[in-house]
A and B are shown apart, each in its own frame.
Chain A
Amino acid sequence: MKPKHQRLALLGLGALGLAGAAALVLTAFEDNLVFFQTPTELATKSVAPNQRLRIGGLVQEGSLVKQGSDVRFVVTDLSHSIPVTYRGLLPDLFREGQGVVAEGRFQDGTFAASEVLAKHDENYMPPEVVEALKKSGEWQRTTGK
């Protein structure tokens, strides 16, 4: 074996080992790497009272109620949903049917959010195209993954 083949083999083995190690570490820390949890994930998990966490999903259509700076809405992933209360300014992209991430804690069944972030999806198009799609009946609400 020539030295350069030896070095190539060493590099290949090193890269394999490194990729394997990275995969193991990332799998082990999966719970810490997710930025938010969905209502369905939370339904199967027990959450300690007063534990701070982030929930994410879609703002349920027709669920938004504003009273002054107090806001109430429902976060849903279309199979489970969580009612949320929040006091403060909402981001520009916050709207019913769109993705949202809320940080806070559970208080008697509702989620008291201290911060609300809007999440936008991967679809980009001009407004006229959306109108045309709606007219032709091709428009589908994105699932806001």
Chain B
Amino acid sequence: MHRFANPTRFVALVRAVQPWAAGIALVTLAAGLWFSLIASPADYQQGETVRIMYVHVPAAWMAMFCYSSMAGASAVTLVWRHAVAHVVARATAPIGASFTFLALATGSLWGKPMWGTWWVWDARLTSVLILLFLYLGYMAIENAFDDRARGSRAAAILAIVGAVNVPIIKFSVDWWNTLHQPASVVRLDGPAIHPSMLTPLVLMAVGYTALYLWILALRVRADINMSKVRALTLRGA
């Protein structure tokens, strides 16, 4: 891992990953959408509305995955002082926030026809809203300091403190009575979802993950280039 603490080597890795992530994202998202919208059955209770799941559930997974990555990278930043780890965390925040927003918005659109309400303050929905605020808070703190190193450290601490919310989101539906149903896929007795509906869900999840890596690669390279520009400007001034 320490090998990649060197920005030059890290950028080489990122450049190698980027086209693969882009290709996998485009192919699996196209296939996933086709399966989601056309080549999968309606649900026995929810009918065609179930198709919202294929957009909503992977977005919620990515919201938590991005946050975990951000918190993990922040821990590496604080302990080992690896600058590229912080670049990864900083580049992840807006992507994770977008996935969180997508999960909240599609969940709301799904809740109205199925539950009969756009929003309720149950433990699952509330903890995901808090996740969105954590992302926004992270981005705000990151940019709030003139001394960028201080902002980075404060933001990294926020990311790590906020990580306590991730298991709360995951297990909220098991620990408390919620309107949101319990987990269908990641649970001890195996998936409670028919294989014909699991296929599009898995394809979409792979596609979202590849999309994240693709955007992350672009953002990381842009971030490192920006630091170079800043360094050159300072030297020239």
| A contact residues vs B (CB 8 Å cutoff) | 4, 7-8, 11, 14-15, 18-19, 22, 26, 30, 33-38, 56, 90-94, 98, 101, 115-130, 145
| B contact residues vs A (CB 8 Å cutoff) | 41-46, 50, 53, 75, 78-81, 113-117, 120-123, 160-161, 163-164, 168, 175-179, 181-184, 187, 192-194, 196-197
Contact A124 B177 (CB under 8 A): no
Closest residue of B by beta carbon distance from A88: B116
Known: A33-B176, A91-B115, A126-B44. A22 touches B197 (CB 8 A): no
Contact A129 B44 (CB under 8 A): yes
Contact A26 B168 (CB under 8 A): yes
Contact B177 A38 (CB under 8 A): yes
Contact B177 A56 (CB under 8 A): yes
Contacts between chains A and B (CB distance < 8 A), count: 117
Complex alpha-carbon distance, A122 and B197, angstroms: 13
Complex alpha-carbon distance, A128 and B41, angstroms: 9
Known: A117-B120, A122-B182, A127-B41. A35 touches B177 (CB 8 A): yes
Q: Which residues of A contact B160 (CB under 8 A)?
A: 11, 14-15
Q: Is the interface of A mostly helix, strand, loop or mixed?
A: mixed
Task: Report the 10 A-B pairs with minimum CB-CB distance, sorted nearest first.
Answer: A91-B116, A126-B41, A35-B122, A125-B194, A122-B184, A124-B193, A127-B44, A34-B177, A130-B44, A7-B79
- Contact check: which of A35, A56, A91, A126 meets B42 at CB < 8 Å? A126
Contact A124 B183 (CB under 8 A): no
Q: Which residues of A contact B182 (CB under 8 A)?
A: 121-122, 145
Residue of B46, B80, B116, B161 with most partner-chain A CB within 10 A: B116
Closest beta carbon of chain B to A137's beta carbon, Å: 17
Known: A7-B78, A11-B75. A92 touches B177 (CB 8 A): no
Closest beta carbon of chain B to A107's beta carbon, Å: 22
